[in-house]
Structures are given as C-alpha cells and as structure tokens.
Structure 1
Amino acid sequence: MSTFASMKMYDVIRHLESIAPPALQEGYDNAGLITGDSGWTCTGVLCTLDATEEVILEAINTGCNLVVAHHPIVFGGLKKINGKNYVEKTVITAIKNDIAIYAIHTNLDHVLDGVNGRMSDRLGLERRRILSPKEGTLKKLFTFVPVAQAEQVRNAIFKAGAGQIGRYSECSFGVEGTGTFKGEAGTNPFVGQPGTRHEEKELKLEIVFPAWLQSAVVQALVTAHPYEEVAYDVVSLANAHPGQGAGMIGELPEPMGEMEFLGFLKEQFDLKVIRHTALNGRPVKKIALCGGAGSFLVSKALQAGADIYITGDMKYHEFFDANGEMIIADIGHFESEQYTTDLLVDVLREKFTTFAVLKSGVPTNPVNYYI
C-alpha cells in the first residue's frame, strides 16, 4: 500500500482502473486523466460527480490536487480556452493551480459494483445482474502444461486477472492428454532430450479473461510455465460478458404496491419529484435501472420482465415505449447518480487508509425545482 509520502497520481489511477477498466468506456466518452500529470505527488483526493470550477476551488482550499469526477469536464475537443464558458473556466483554473482532474464515467457505469450497483444498494435489490451485457470483451486462453506444474501455471494466470465469470473467480477447465515435441540442436527442454521426440502427460487448460488483460495474462503464463517454448492459443469470444455492461436488474426482497414503492424510491433517493408512466395495478418486484440517461435500455427492461424501470433524462415520447407493460420512472440524471460520489470515496478510502480522500460539498446539480 502506498503511503502519504510516496503517493503518486498513478497510484490512485491504477486502483480506479482496476475497478473500472478504461476499455469499458463508450466510444463517445472521455474518461481518464483530463488535466495534470500522473507522475505528480498527490496531496489529497476530492471526489465529485461533476468537476466544475467551484469544485476545483474547493480542492485548492482543502489541499487536494487530484479531483476524481464521474462526468468528464471535457467531452469533445476544445478549440479555444479563453474562459467563455464553464468548461473552459474549469480547465483554466485547474491548470493554473496544478490540479489534476480524472474522470471515471461510462467505464464505472459498466461494472457490477459501479454506479448501478450503488443504486441497487439503495433499494436493497437481490439477485442482481447486468441488464445489457457488453459484447466483444471476452477472450479465452488455451494452453498445455505438464500435469505436475499445472497448478502453479493456473494460479499465475488467475493472479493476472483471468478466470472471472460474474461473481465467480478462479474458473477454468482442464483435461489430460498426451503432448509430443522434439527439441532441436541448442535447446534445453524441461523434460526429454534434444533430438528425440518426447511424449508428456499434459493438462490442456482453458481460461476466459477480459480482452484488455491479454498482455498481462500471456506474460503470467510464459513466466510461470516450465517449457522454453510455451504453446498457447488466444481466441475472441462472441459471448457477452455477464459482469460488464449497461444497466442492472434485480428483485426486491418482498413485492411492494406501486404507490408504496414510489414512496420508497422517493425516500431512498431524496427526490422532490418522480416523472412516471401510468400505474398498472400490479405489485412491484423486479426492478431494472440505469444511472444517468437510460432511455436506450427501455426495450431491454421490457424483455427482462421488469415491473419498473428507473433512470433519468427520459423524453416525452419515450414514455410511450413502456406500452403499459411496466412503469417507467424518471428520477433525474443527477439524482440517479448522486451516490456515485460516495462510491468513489469508499473504494479509495478502503485502499488508501492513511491518505486524505474527501467528498466534495459543492452542489453541482444544474437542475432546480419550484415546488
């Protein structure tokens, strides 16, 4: 564990990216280090939903030179930086005062214990799963290792991050067979003699892993394997990753009436208002949700048999998409993601117990309600 004296920006960044890998962000997103240098010594971390100029000033006043935000302050390219809008003002203030801004956005949306996981915690949902699992992110490693050394090789591959399927870890499959090889001149085979074909009882190992870990997984295999030349195959899988993707669905411990649940939702998220479709007179048990703007998942929630779908930023005509089959509840973009700041504080404080990790006290919700 890093200490206060040796803490660098990259210590914090590496930990965050181990939880929400950058490869999981959407193509339009701009997660990552937006201002600052990852090699800087870190004096403190301030967590927030939005990195506004007021938040940067708060960081300066509290002695924190790293702001970790959910939303990137810069989405597209900046053609000018002259302080004409809130984005430019924020960037200028951060750069002038050597404040690093790191954004962890859709990549944090796409993991089980991310934004939607924290929303599910508020509602006490059980039997949770990703609503729309992400495709194209899984690969499988096939390799062949002497039976006696199989366990050490398997453990090394697991340690590199392979073998995770949902909430199960160290998943693999092995079958014994006979491998053959003949070392040519100049070789030093682990078993057998150069110039003679050798037969060896081997275990064929199959282990899945996230695509972005390929380099680390292969390196772990080669380092732990006893052979001079390691035989292995890496193939891309069509399977969607069950632990990564958009939205979440789960169940309440016990069914609730519709009005009872809306009251519970309002209380748990401290809401002033809930925009929702017509009630249908059925109990609420299965809950689908997505933090932020989630209209793109309405059809997925319907297919999953959700009784209610909770999200933000629904447009007028999109409410019709419920088709009377479920309730759509728009609780607001900020309101749906407000507990993400607590999530960031929790994961950083758990890792860096001797280091200052603060929660921003600046209200950043741009939407106000007249009641």
Structure 2
Amino acid sequence: MKINEIVSFLETIAPASLQESYDNAGLLTGSASWECTGIITTLDATEVIVDEAIKNNCNLIVAHHPVIFGGLKSITGKNYVEQTVIKAIKNDIAIYAIHTNLDNVINGVNGKIADKLELINRSILSPKKNNLKRLVTFAPVDHAEKVRAAIFAAGGGHVGNYSECSFNINGEGTFLANEGTDPFIGKIGERHTEPEVRIEIIFPEWIEKAVIAAMKTAHPYEEVAYDIINLDNMHQDIGSGLVGELPAAIDETSFLKQLKQVFGLSVIKHTGLTGKAVKKVALCGGAGSFLIGAATAAGADFYITGDIKYHEFFDANNRLVIADIGHYESEQFTIDLLFDILTEKFPNFAVLKTGVKTNPVHYFL
C-alpha cells in the first residue's frame, strides 16, 4: 500500500481544506508514492519518534502537530525541528500532520475527549461558515432520480442528521443541438423543448469534484448544465471546540476529581468554583482560550482546554469554571483516535501507537 492511499483516506476523515490558515497540516517529509512499511501514530513528531519508527520498520509517522510549522530558511540541525527533519529525510521516513483539520470535525480531537468524559447531546461549540455549497442542475424527468441518487452516493444532500435532502421543481428546458453534437434527445438543427426537473442539493465544499463527477456520469445529456453556489450557512458538524452534557449533573469538586482521573493529571489550574452543579461541559483540545466567550455563551458550567494565560482566567467572571489541564494532556487521546481510525480501515496493516510521551512540560510535586 502506498502512502498516498493512507493520506487520501485520512483526508476523507479530516479534509485538508478544513485546516486553519496559519496551519501546516499535510505531508511534511517523504513521498506519497512510497510503499508504506508501517505507521506510527503520535501527538508530536520529534527525533525520538523518528528513531522509534526506524526501530519498528515504519516509514510513515502520522502526527497531530506539524513539526514544520513556520518556514525553514536553513536545515542545519540547530533545533529540534531541523534535527527531526534531517533524521526523517536521511532515513526515508515520511511525516504526515493532521492538525487543525482534525480539530475542526465533530468526531475528531474534541470528539475523542468527549468520549472519555461520556458527554451526550454534543454539538460544535463554534461552527464555521463558508464550508457548504449548493449544486443546481437540470435533468429530464425520467432520469432525475438517477442523477439525484448519484449525487447522494457521492456525499451530497446531508443536512444535520438528515441525508438524501434535495429540492426539486418541474419545468421545461430548451436547447438547439448544433453540428458536431450527439444529442441524447432532439434533432440536430432543431430547437427542442424537454420536460425537466431542477434539482438543488447542498454538499460540503471538499467533495465538490466527486459530486460533479457523479452528476455528469449519471446524467444522460452530452453537455450538462449546472451551477455551483457558495453558501454562507454554518456547517453544524465543522468548527472549533465542542459542547455536550454529562449523563447526570455532579458537583464541581467531583467533576474536577473525574478530570484528574480520566486525563491522568497530578494538578489542574482552574478558576474559582461557582457553587453550581456541572451538567453542560464545553471543551477544546490544545490551546483554546479563544473559545472562552463561546463556552460562556453556550451556557457551559465548565470549560476544559489548555494554555490559558493569567489574565484570560478573569474572563470566567464567575459564570463558569475554566479548567486548564495542559496542552498535551488535553490532546493525548488523539494518538488513540488516529490508531483506531487507521486500524479500522486497514485491519491487516502494521499500525502502532507511539510508546514515547512527547510532552515537553514536567511538574515537580
């Protein structure tokens, strides 16, 4: 199996187009055309992870964090980034990062955290705009269902928990087939009027090519008329953070103890307790201070994330509890998430979880 097959599959789970503008997700070293000998999943791609890959005969590292984040003006080994890149290139190790695109899908990084906390009634905390498009096309009445079915099979027509959604209007289409054409109906040189169905279907922007290809394959016309319209609608399953509910409300101290147990924490930084029961929980793996306002607006009792600065703790304003559990600690289960995704898809292929804890932060107790 080639590395490209693995990358293509991962990008059906977390499309590359969903990464933030500042991010650098994707294949960072190596070639997509290489035969893959094995995969190691990790949070960070560091030199010791490359050593682990070499030892286990794995030539693909699938990491959450991109080891190359900014531009490299030289590669001399002066820091951990350059050391990692040099070792990976010298040993033909491919590094693939699946970062904010995996953060921005509901069953990604934050979905895994929610699984660990057993949250129910989940939704995206801050849904994103401009990820939806509408296809409008026109098909002969007797072929409309075939065209619709092909678009649905390609992934179009999903609205929330509903699938195969479309809007259809009957009307008439006209065309005149000129010399050199091979019309499905009508005669060359004569204007033809045909009863047609106008079909409108919404789809996520990252499957546009597949949707158009499926429509054209199923459509009987030699030249297919269609429009693609960009929508400003929010995609309810795409965006930052996640909010859900505990199966049953508990007191704040008990919830803090639960956090320590689930995440294996020795310490939690948090704002003052409010004295309210904890039912609604918002979360964001990694650095999530930018979502404090969204967590408050969602009516969350607790907001769990990492990398909160001193003054940002004041933003709780006694309306919720902000718990900073650490960047690595909040995202540690991403290693398991990637392992599970890959082993389910490729059950007979060598996929390993790293045995290295890459957290650069230590605590003296």
CA contact 1:167–1:243 (8 Å) conserved in 2: no
Whole-angstrom CA distance in 2 between matches of 1:368 and 1:48: 19
Which of 70, 77, 89 is the matching residue for 1:83?
Answer: 77
Whole-angstrom CA distance in 2 between matches of 1:264 and 1:246: 24
How do 1:128-207 residues align onto structure 2 when only pairs under 5 Å count? 128-207=122-201
Deviations 1:204-263 (CA, angstroms, capped at 9, x unpaired): 111111223222222221121101121111111011211111101111111111111111
Structure 2 residue matching 1:215: 3-state secondary structure = helix
Task: Tell me, yes or no, if structure 1 residue 72 matches structure 2 residue 75.
Answer: no
Whole-angstrom CA distance in 1 between matches of 2:266 and 2:163: 41
CA contact 1:8–1:42 (8 Å) conserved in 2: yes
Whole-angstrom CA distance in 1 between matches of 2:344 and 2:37: 17
Q: CA deviation at 1:127?
A: 1.2
Query: Which residue matches 1:346?
Result: 340
CA contact 1:276–1:329 (8 Å) conserved in 2: yes
Whole-angstrom CA distance in 2 between matches of 1:365 and 1:172: 48
Whole-angstrom CA distance in 2 between matches of 1:314 and 1:193: 70
Deviations 1:143-197 (CA, angstroms, capped at 9, x unpaired): 1112221222112212323223334333222232232333334433222333433
Query: Which residue matches 2:310?
Result: 316
Aligned length, in residue pairs:
365
Query: Which residue matches 1:16?
Result: 10
Which of 258, 268, 291 is the matching residue for 1:297?
Answer: 291
Structure 2: runs of 5+ lacking an equivalent: none
Which of 103, 107, 114 is the matching residue for 1:109?
Answer: 103
Task: Tell me, yes or no, if structure 1 residue 122 matches structure 2 residue 116.
Answer: yes
Q: CA deviation at 1:201?
A: 2.5
Paired amino acid for 1:34: L
Whole-angstrom CA distance in 2 between matches of 1:118 and 1:168: 23
Task: Tell me, yes or no, if structure 1 residue 242 matches structure 2 residue 236.
Answer: yes
Whole-angstrom CA distance in 1 between matches of 2:279 and 2:73: 49
CA contact 1:289–1:311 (8 Å) conserved in 2: yes
Structure 1 residue matching 2:187: 3-state secondary structure = coil
Whole-angstrom CA distance in 2 between matches of 1:195 and 1:285: 70
Deviations 1:82-125 (CA, angstroms, capped at 9, x unpaired): 11111111111111111000000000000011000001101111
Task: Tell me, yes or no, if structure 1 residue 285 matches structure 2 residue 279.
Answer: yes
CA contact 1:50–1:71 (8 Å) conserved in 2: yes
Paired amino acid for 1:257: D
CA contact 1:284–1:308 (8 Å) conserved in 2: yes
Taking every aligned residue pair, what percent have the same amino acid on both sides? 62
Q: CA RMSD for the aligned pairs?
A: 1.3
Whole-angstrom CA distance in 2 between matches of 1:79 and 1:188: 56
Structure 1: runs of 5+ lacking an equivalent: 1-6
TM-score by length of 1: 0.95
Query: Which residue matches 1:331?
Result: 325
CA contact 1:165–1:243 (8 Å) conserved in 2: no
CA contact 1:307–1:327 (8 Å) conserved in 2: yes
